[in-house]
Structure 1
């Protein structure tokens, strides 16, 4: 245990990224459960309703059409709400003002929602061409989405939304 503790203390940035990914699994779980409920029950009746607007192209059978669009939108939003709460409290242990961090987070989530709602329509078609079974297409697209979300959200949360404050450093015993 001493070796692990020493490693963590000497690699705080790497440890924070590891914690971010570990605790992001709470949000990932919420995302996948929401996706399953949405595609299996809530929006199943919309699987044959094509949807195309702006950069969103859910017109192929593989995309699950309007069901896929709404399901990805809802699942991503639920996952991001859970992610903000967990990351703020656990990973970053941030004392940043909610009123200052939440507008930035909302902008980040809007970017993530646009990207991860537009992307599955394309990735599901690519996965289908790679002979991924149709039942697994939404989950394969969701895995790709989650990777994109991690890259965007960790960077934004660490450096823009929940940057370490002087108060955080004092509480951690770090002095400059």
Structure 2
């Protein structure tokens, strides 16, 4: 009984972090909006700047919420690894969004964007590693679930 209460308290604390991180995301977006309005960028550039400024807090809110679900499932004994897949997928979305915002802002600000492999790798390397990490997590979770269901591991 006490373990379930500890899990509920930990999960509630993570939910509170989710709320605070969401408020911080709104505040950071508002701050970036106020600063960017002084330089009179275009509407699309302004939206991208606000998203880029608030992206870290949005990701932290998502991760806190996902961790709260992980804590509840772990203490309840129904942890299957799918929450880890959700967290890894969230990291993939974050790296893709961050790289897309960076490249879009470069193009909107009039900078030349070349399609050389070194330039593409410099902008998209974290997204590549995040996708690779997601694939590894997904493979491990699926193989563990398959082993639990069939009693065989990696086809053996």
Structure 2 length-normalised TM: 0.37
Q: Higher helix fraction: Structure 1 or Structure 2? A: 2
Of structures 1 and 2, the larger Rg is shown by: 2
